[in-house]
A and B are shown apart, each in its own frame.
Chain A
Amino acid sequence: MTYPAASTPTSLELVCPAGNLPSLKAAIDHGADAVYIGFRDDTNARHFPGLNFDAKTAAQGVEYAHRRNRRVFVALNTFPQPSGWERWRTAVDRAAELGVDAIIAADISVLDYACRQHPQLPLHLSVQGSATNYEAIRFYHEHFGIRRVVLPRVLALPQVRHVLEHSPVALEVFGFGGLCIMVEGRCLLSSYVTGESPNMCGVCSPAKAVRWQETPQGLETRLNGLLIDRHAPGEPAGYPTLCKGRFTVGEQAYYAIEEPTSLNTLELLPELCAMGIAAIKIEGRQRSPAYVSQVTQVWRTAIDACRRHPTGYAPKPEWQQALGKVSEGQQTTLGAYHRHWQ
């Protein structure tokens, strides 16, 4: 099966996270062009207790967005095992019935089913699909007619440009939020320590495996018993995501993999815009409606400013401050987009 290449969009679509209906409304009200949601099970990579949409709230969310001419994407981006396959199949059908604007999927079985069963429903390749180069993107385009690919957070800016120049489909990149240091879809650290991973269960460093404990040495955070970090009195203690702990290698104790920090690419907007990136994704379906409002508002303002005056654009200090406040560890990084970070 072959599909014509999708036309190259020229504008940065702002794609915001919605972990529940209040967040969805907050995103739409503060200027999101699109929101992405998940159902209440392990078919999506934010399978957290109390999060996500059932049939009723999903329908309400789609109606709320569509009435305002905004789009809704459904993430079905985990990898079904045979015994769970029915759940993914049902989820694809449910997304189609809801009339959402795209499914974001990673597994070949899910993409294949969606493409055959609902050929009118646009497909985006999830970041969990680990497509870091255009040959991989061509595979998914040729077989499933994907319209867009979400790039893993591992490419430097010139590499993003190179992929875009050769990609048959539009690119979405992460702009802000929690920073995965590993290629998404290929990280098993969480299941190695806890038994549950994003690929299998839609969770990373699951909350049920977390323990916080005050000790004479300071506040300790543990994941399934493994000491992730120990914080001196007064030192801010973040969620113990496995890759962001302080560990010992040789004689050094340090953030061996990554600091607790958030990705923030506000200053790269003119380059991303000039390059022809189709969409900017904000991470954080697990975050509060207040986070979604704040981040969406800043990014809406920034994208609009960048579109008006791309050459004179510079991120305003108040935008950076607002984003810094809702960032992990209250610090941000350009991540892999900036080669020196690698």
Chain B
Amino acid sequence: MNNVTPRLPKLALGPVLYYWPRETLLAFYEQMSASPVDIICLGETVCAKRRSLNIDDWLDLAERLTAAGKEVVLSTMALLGAESELKALRRWCANGRFMVEANDMSAVHLLSGQAPFALGTGINIYNDHTLRFLADLGARRWILPVELSRVALAEIQAQRPAGMETEVFVYGRLPLAYSARCFTARYHNLPKDDCQYRCLNDPEGLTVSSREGQAFLTLNGIQTQSAQTCNLLAELAELRALGVDVLRISPQAEGTERVIATFAAALRGECAPGEAAATLNADLPYGACNGYWQGQAGLQQIAGC
């Protein structure tokens, strides 16, 4: 036993998963550059047709955020089929300046042995063998798959390779699935090739409910998310005890600054995590969930023990 206090986890802002207009995105990151978040992931990860910012715009933004003291990570697309998408991916991976977060094995392949890289929510790391294999290729940070529990995390952490940082998705609508089909275009009775960029109208996606009115999913183009917002703030003590290095907050159209400020205050010990979590949860349109963390169905919200 030693008495060294574990380092405080860093706060990371995940990539914006929705389609926001250019001005909205730039204004959002202007706000974020002044927020207490440590790491910012940039880039379009869901749909290649969303081009509010081009690669050069993203790289300029990355420089500005770096100058403001943020660690910038470039996130890759999760589902790549077309050659044009691979071409953009190659440029992203060879940027030579910022760490890249792989969300598909194509990116892992391009980054292996080239530069240190991070593993995003699109990469399946369910055990320590897989993590070690990817560490040997240059992975330096990984994120727990959102469906895995604290028990699985503890097991993986016990065998974690040296120098590997562990990240956990602690706040936001959970990314649950990717498809060839665009569900937003389907909702509007439009073919994907003529989607008319309708997802611009839904800054936090479209909510799916059962016919009894139970909201449970969010449609975001080709991505499906949870309708409930995952919030693990109340589990902060356990996250720290498990040696989690980075806490990821996924951007929402409203209230992201407040969420970051609340997590930062809890990390500084200025508020009780449980109470702060309850305050955040009170304003959620479809409630909070933490079931995955507890080893249960993801949509459940289980009270702390």
A interface vs B, CB < 8 Å? Answer: 79-83, 85, 106-109, 112-113, 129-136, 138-140, 142-143, 153-156, 159, 162-163, 181-183, 185-189, 191-195, 197, 199-200, 224, 226-228, 230, 245-250, 252-253, 256-258, 336, 339-342
B210 part of interface (Cβ distance < 8 Å): yes
- CB atoms of B208 and A249 under 8 A apart: yes
When A191-B298, A249-B206, A256-B187 are in contact, do A85 and B129 touch as well, CB less than 8 Å?
yes
| A240, B122: Cα distance in complex, Å | 27
Other-chain residue from A155, A183, A191, A253 in contact with B178 (beta carbon distance below 8 A):
A183
- CB atoms of A186 and B78 under 8 A apart: yes
- Shortest CB-to-CB span from B285 to chain A, Å, is 15
A80, A186, A252 interface centre (most CB from chain B within 10 Å): A186
- CB atoms of B126 and A181 under 8 A apart: no
- CB atoms of A200 and B79 under 8 A apart: no
| A189, B177: Cα distance in complex, Å | 7
B212 part of interface (Cβ distance < 8 Å): yes
- CB atoms of B176 and A342 under 8 A apart: no
B292 part of interface (Cβ distance < 8 Å): yes
What are the residues of chain B within 8 A of A82 when measuring CB–CB? 127-128, 152, 155-156, 158-159
B115 part of interface (Cβ distance < 8 Å): no
| A181, B223: Cα distance in complex, Å | 11
| A193, B210: Cα distance in complex, Å | 12
What are the residues of chain B within 8 A of A153 when measuring CB–CB? 180
- CB atoms of B193 and A339 under 8 A apart: yes
Within 8 A of A (CB), among B159-200: 159, 174, 176-183, 186-187, 191-193
B86 part of interface (Cβ distance < 8 Å): yes
When A81-B155, A154-B81, A226-B214 are in contact, do A193 and B297 touch as well, CB less than 8 Å?
yes
| A217, B209: Cα distance in complex, Å | 18
Interface of A is mostly: mixed
What are the residues of chain A within 8 A of B178 when measuring CB–CB? 182-183, 186-187
What are the residues of chain A within 8 A of B82 when measuring CB–CB? 159, 162
| Size range of the chain B interface in the assembly | 35 or more
| A234, B86: Cα distance in complex, Å | 49
B interface vs A, CB < 8 Å? Answer: 78-83, 85-86, 89, 104-110, 112, 122, 124, 126-130, 133-134, 145-148, 151-152, 155-156, 158-159, 174, 176-183, 186-187, 191-193, 206-214, 216-217, 219, 224, 226, 291-292, 295-299
What are the residues of chain A within 8 A of B295 when measuring CB–CB? 195
Interface of B is mostly: mixed
Residue of B nearest to A227 (CB): B210
Other-chain residue from A81, A189, A339 in contact with B217 (beta carbon distance below 8 A):
A189
- CB atoms of A139 and B210 under 8 A apart: no
- CB atoms of A256 and B127 under 8 A apart: no
- Shortest CB-to-CB span from B78 to chain A, Å, is 7
What are the residues of chain A within 8 A of B217 when measuring CB–CB? 189, 192, 247
What are the residues of chain A within 8 A of B104 when measuring CB–CB? 130, 132-133, 136
What are the residues of chain B within 8 A of A257 when measuring CB–CB? 179, 181, 183, 208, 224
- CB atoms of B126 and A107 under 8 A apart: yes
- Shortest CB-to-CB span from A314 to chain B, Å, is 26
What are the residues of chain B within 8 A of A154 when measuring CB–CB? 79, 81, 179-180
When A256-B183, A339-B193 are in contact, do A83 and B155 touch as well, CB less than 8 Å?
yes
| A341, B109: Cα distance in complex, Å | 30
10 tightest A-B contacts by CB? A135-B106, A109-B129, A154-B180, A139-B109, A82-B155, A79-B126, A192-B298, A136-B105, A195-B297, A182-B177
What are the residues of chain A within 8 A of B105 when measuring CB–CB? 129-131, 135-136, 139-140
Other-chain residue from A129, A192, A195, A246 in contact with B176 (beta carbon distance below 8 A):
A192
- Shortest CB-to-CB span from B295 to chain A, Å, is 8
- CB atoms of A185 and B124 under 8 A apart: yes
